[in-house]
Amino acid sequence: MRLIPLSLVLALASCGTGSPSGPGTCTGECVAAVPNDWIATTALWIGDAGATTPACPSVLPSPLPGFANTPPTVVCPACSCSPSGATCSLPVQLYANPGACPGGAGAVQFNPPHGWDGTCVVAAPVSSTDSLTVAPPPNPVGTCTPQVAGSISIQGSTPALACAGMPSVAAGTCGDQSMICAFPKSAGFSTCVIKVGDSPVCPDGWPTRHLVFPNEQACGCQCGPPVSESCSATVTVYSDGACSNSLGSVLVSSDQPQGCIDVATGSVFESASSTPPVYNAGTCAPMPTNEGEPFTFCCLP
């Protein structure tokens, strides 16, 4: 299901179940209230093919053009996705092993401090070491940016214009709890309530039903999750406290198992450094849509 357009969400509010009893102070006209899963109230114009679309009433100034009753023919721009982008973290789990790769029993952690930026870090020395194991960095969580190329073409036989406003009802109350205070009817427009999707039944008191296909909903372009993205870095361990005497380096990547390198038998680990993490972009599958979900408009006769 497609989401209701943001412009319509901002312009409309739920009806509620009616106004308090009493004489009423409605500045517009009192009309039948509707269930809370409907959106109230808006003005709807439907014209003949080729008709000039009117301006929205001043009290409902937000236009939502489209076509009514029959889905339009839609040709959408090409939808594609940029390479993915994400932020990488450094590997933070280093192990000094008393035996050759792949290491195993007796491994001692030689981890850098929290927030390590890859620069030389001195840790408590670990002696009698034969190999270095480095766990891969965390998997990145990347996204791709939807990209469209070309223009949109929407052709329909019955033009329509929905007009919304904020607030969606006129000021004041109605004396009857089953009524809400709508704006006065505008010439050429019907007063309607709306529901997202194709609803076959209108609420009581709103008998005239139309399906409206907003132009805003006609074409969409989204991207699926990245495939084959990864983060990589090279960690080097040293036998001194100044990252001068290298014992060996390990290249690790988030899409690979841990890395391991043998060092001179009985080495002492005193410091470590890492290259900046490198993000290897993935690809995302484009997810185009060429027909939005209609809105059901139920209008006063």
SS3 1: coil
Same domain for 125 and 76: no
- Range of 240's domain? 94-134+230-280
> What is the structure's pLDDT at 217?
82
Would you mind telling me the total number of residues written for the chain in this entry?
301
The residues, ordered by sequence, that sit 6+ positions from 62 with a Cβ below 8 Å of its Cβ are 7, 11, 56, 163, 164, 165, 166
Q: Along the 301 residues of the chain, how does pLDDT read in single tens digits?
A: 344 443 444 344 433 333 344 578 998 899 998 888 888 789 999 999 889 999 999 989 999 999 999 999 999 999 999 999 999 999 999 999 999 999 888 999 999 999 999 999 998 999 999 999 999 999 999 999 999 999 999 999 999 999 988 888 888 889 888 888 999 889 999 999 999 999 999 999 999 999 999 998 888 999 999 999 999 999 999 999 999 999 999 999 999 999 999 999 999 999 999 999 999 999 999 999 877 789 999 999 8
For residue 6, the surrounding DSSP H or E stretch is helix 6-11
- What was the pLDDT predicted at 3? 41
Same domain, 158 and 205: yes
* pLDDT score for 292: 73
Q: What pLDDT is recorded for position 268?
A: 97
DSSP three-state, residue 42 = strand
Per-residue confidence (pLDDT) for residue 15, from 0 to 100: 39
Residues with Cβ within 8 Å of residue 3, at least 6 apart in sequence: none
Distance, in Å, from the CA atom of 230 to the CA atom of 275, rounded to the nearest integer, reads 15
Residue 156 shares a structural domain with residue 58:
yes
3-state secondary structure of 264: strand
CB 189 within 8 A of CB 58: no
One domain, residues 195 and 242: no
Of 185, 216, 247, which closes a domain? 216
Angle ∠(52,166,51) on CA atoms, nearest 5 = 5
The answer as to whether 1 is a domain residue is no
| Cut 0.75: pTM above it | no
Contact 292, 214 (CB under 8 A): yes
286 assigned to some structural domain: no
Whether 60 and 157 share a structural domain: yes
- The number of helices, as runs of H, and strands, as runs of E, in the chain is 1, 22
- Name the residue with tokens 């319509």: 8
CA 202 to chain centre: 32
pLDDT at site 37: 87
Total number of domains in the chain: 2
